[in-house]
Chain A
Amino acid sequence: MLGLNKSDFKLFLIVCLLALAAPILLNPFPTDSALGQSFNAGYPALMQRFVIFGILVIGFNILFGLTGYLSFGHAAFLGVGSYAAVWMFKLLSYNVVPAILLSVVVAGVFSVVIGYVSLRRSGIYFSILTLAFAQMSYQLAYSVLTPITNGETGLQVYNNDPQILMRAGDPTVPHLFGWRMNDKTELSMGGWNFVFENGYYLAAIFMIISFYLAIRIFRSPFGMMLRAIKSNQTRMSYTGLNTKPYMLAAFVISGMYAGLAGGLLAAMDPLTGAERMFWTASGEIVVMAILGGVGTLIGPVLGAGLIKYLENIVSKINDSILHSWFAFMPDWLDNLLVGIIHPFIGKGWHLTLGLLFMAVVIFLPGGLVQGGQKIGALFNRKKKSDAADGATKPAE
């Protein structure tokens, strides 16, 4: 179906369903309950980040997962994409179509240049080169290129911007031919309040398309060549294949994914700043990919989702919320528990993330996907002992 084999198609359907039903699935607790206030993730601003960072890491995984080349400067492409999109808003109009198109194109061109130079080296030297380029881009955006990037203040749309395609009555927020990104439909059922926002759905559809293209690339002869490069470059060239254009193509595709993500970030909120290109942002992408499972199809989406969830949920929990959870305990125990958990929440969420990352790398080098496969295998074994056969391959 759609040029995919059965198990890939199943996986694709699952991702479609999850993405489209996310506003419902991510709100498991009644909106006003204590649990709902703390753990519900079904609000537009967070869901947008899930899918947009999903796109970013899916693209990163085409490079890192298939060829094994670890780019440590991917945030540069995200940042460039965002700047390109905001400039389209400033010059043309708030329509997101030219903005997103240009962000992909500009990131693509930018990655041809960076890729051409960086791919002359492999291993750690490649990573350092990409990191250096990203930091250079960050510094340029922050200082020298202020006329283009608006430096520290960040780039945003002002009333006196040309916006030459803007007609009277057009929305003054990003829109798709009049369909405003920040419009939402709310649905209240019992204690639940579900928010369906246009912007989220636009990003989700882009994520679904990106995911589909990634599956196609993984299963194509091109994808096979990239895995062959990771496996043995000597044999590759003695088989009559030129590894350089393959690597560059993978790098550019991956850069364009990042540009798309950057364009979408700007389409959700039409401003951007240099900090999007900072090296910690690049590092975050690497962490997401490794956490989810490098070289797997669904891993990047899971990794991006988990990190954005932790970032937004764990960092929101504070001592008074903890006290309210432990209110039923005697005071001394309550205080003790809050004292123990305190460093891991709020501003300390990075500590939680660090521990989680260490645990995954040590116990599940294949990331969350490997964890899922282990659980799947456990169930399969049980099923096998119950009935003679019933071996279902765990979805990748």
Chain B
Amino acid sequence: MGILEVKGVNKRFGGLQALGNVNLSVAENTVHAIIGPNGAGKSTLLNVLVGKLIPDSGSVMFDGQSVLGRKPHEINQMGISRVFQTPEIFSDLTVFENVMIPCFAKRDGAFRMHALESVFHEKDIKAQAEAMLADVNMLEKSHMVASSLSRGDKRRLEMAMCLVQDPKLLLLDEPTAGMARADTENTIALLKEIRTKRGITMAIIEHDMNVVFSLAERITVLAQGTPLVEDTPENIKGHPKVREAYLGEAQV
């Protein structure tokens, strides 16, 4: 039993079958990549996992509980954190505040009326945020407003915001999309570091093969809304079906 179990998920948008009988099992403590050409249904699948879309049929179980019909904040509280294609951070707040907010969410739940307490007195939360920022080498930028960070640092900050919650599963939606080569390399290094240091289970949606093959331990190939194969990176590389559907196109 994996920590995330997707069974027989179907999703239609009008006449388009975006997901057709998708089965997927993400084992605990692995990095599982989901790849596929454009329009293969990767983003639809991700949106189903985080509660943004409700599938027409099928089940999605996380850690023994169904995620279907739950709101994004409830799914996060179950232990799934999500990194977006373009970093979603609180741009008007400082870097430090950005990291404090997930700490509050983790400690106090989805809502707490703490209107007359002072942020200055939250020693535990501050210590947590500080440790996290030190971990991603951003401590000296704590007091910068998040919107003034470089793109790479924004990605780093978003990652820190997810990791500080100590999630059971980290979902990454094309974490290197639109990045320069150097930034891509940095992100790969950061993710590898997180993987070895924290042993977090990750599900990565990506179409950059370089990223996938240097990180993933399992790979699922999606094409036209259905999974073609699921295997280790070594086997996927030489798989004829995959070459045909995906890598073959890329080699032209």
Task: State the A residues within 8 Å of B (CB).
Answer: 3, 5, 213, 216-217, 219-225, 227-228, 230-232, 234-243, 245-246, 249, 253
Q: Is the pair B120, A219 in contact by a Cβ cutoff of 8 Å?
A: yes
Residues of chain A within 8 A (CB-CB) of B100 are 224
Give Cα distance in the complex from A219 to B117, angstroms: 8
Residues of chain B within 8 A (CB-CB) of A224 are 93, 97, 100-101, 104, 119
Q: Is the pair A240, B76 in contact by a Cβ cutoff of 8 Å?
A: yes
Minimum Cβ distance to chain A for residue B184 (Å): 23
**Chain B interface mostly helix, strand, loop or mixed?**
loop
Give Cα distance in the complex from A232 to B147, angstroms: 12
Give Cα distance in the complex from A391 to B230, angstroms: 62
Task: State the B residues within 8 Å of A (CB).
Answer: 50, 71-73, 76-77, 81-82, 84, 88-93, 97, 100-102, 104-106, 108-120, 122, 161, 165
Name the residue of chain A whose CB is nearest to the CB of B108.
A221
Q: Is the pair A231, B90 in contact by a Cβ cutoff of 8 Å?
A: yes
Knowing that A224-B97, A228-B90 are A-B contacts, what are 6 other residue pairs whose CB atoms are under 8 Å apart, sorted by A's residue number?
Answer: A222-B114, A223-B115, A236-B73, A237-B71, A239-B102, A241-B101
Q: Is the pair B113, A222 in contact by a Cβ cutoff of 8 Å?
A: yes
Give Cα distance in the complex from A223 to B118, angstroms: 10
Residues of chain A within 8 A (CB-CB) of B161 are 235, 239
Given A231-B90, A238-B88, A239-B101, answer yes or no on A221-B116 (Cβ-Cβ < 8 Å). no
Q: Is the pair A238, B50 in contact by a Cβ cutoff of 8 Å?
A: yes
Residues of chain B within 8 A (CB-CB) of A235 are 88-90, 161
Q: Is the pair B111, A245 in contact by a Cβ cutoff of 8 Å?
A: yes
Given A220-B118, A238-B73, answer yes or no on A228-B101 (Cβ-Cβ < 8 Å). yes
Q: Is the pair A249, B115 in contact by a Cβ cutoff of 8 Å?
A: yes
Q: Is the pair A241, B110 in contact by a Cβ cutoff of 8 Å?
A: yes
Q: Is the pair A220, B116 in contact by a Cβ cutoff of 8 Å?
A: yes
Q: Is the pair A234, B101 in contact by a Cβ cutoff of 8 Å?
A: no
Q: Is the pair B50, A216 in contact by a Cβ cutoff of 8 Å?
A: no
Minimum Cβ distance to chain A for residue B96 (Å): 11
Residues of chain B within 8 A (CB-CB) of A228 are 90, 93, 97, 101
Q: Is the pair B88, A241 in contact by a Cβ cutoff of 8 Å?
A: no
From the candidates B71, B72, B101, name the one contacting A225 in the complex (CB within 8 A): B101
Minimum Cβ distance to chain A for residue B127 (Å): 15
Give Cα distance in the complex from A18 to B115, angstroms: 26
Minimum Cβ distance to chain A for residue B118 (Å): 6
Residues of chain A within 8 A (CB-CB) of B105 are 239-241
From the candidates B71, B93, B118, B122, name the one contacting A231 in the complex (CB within 8 A): B93
Name the residue of chain B whose CB is nearest to the CB of A249.
B113
Q: Is the pair B76, A238 in contact by a Cβ cutoff of 8 Å?
A: yes
Residues of chain B within 8 A (CB-CB) of A222 are 112-115, 117
Given A232-B90, A246-B111, answer yes or no on A5-B120 (Cβ-Cβ < 8 Å). yes
Give Cα distance in the complex from A228 to B104, angstroms: 12
Give Cα distance in the complex from A73 to B185, angstroms: 52
> What are 12 A-B residue pairs whose CB atoms fall within 8 Å in the complex?
A220-B114, A224-B100, A231-B92, A234-B88, A235-B90, A238-B73, A239-B165, A240-B77, A240-B106, A240-B109, A242-B73, A243-B73
Given A228-B93, A238-B76, A242-B73, answer yes or no on A221-B111 (Cβ-Cβ < 8 Å). no
Residues of chain A within 8 A (CB-CB) of B120 are 5, 219
Q: Is the pair B115, A241 in contact by a Cβ cutoff of 8 Å?
A: no
Interface core residue of A221, A225, A238 (most chain B CB under 10 Å): A238
Residues of chain B within 8 A (CB-CB) of A3 are 118
Residues of chain B within 8 A (CB-CB) of A241 are 73, 101, 104-105, 110-111
Give Cα distance in the complex from A223 to B113, angstroms: 10
Give Cα distance in the complex from A226 to B110, angstroms: 13
Give Cα distance in the complex from A302 to B76, angstroms: 42
Q: Is the pair B122, A221 in contact by a Cβ cutoff of 8 Å?
A: yes
Given A231-B91, A232-B88, answer yes or no on A221-B77 (Cβ-Cβ < 8 Å). no
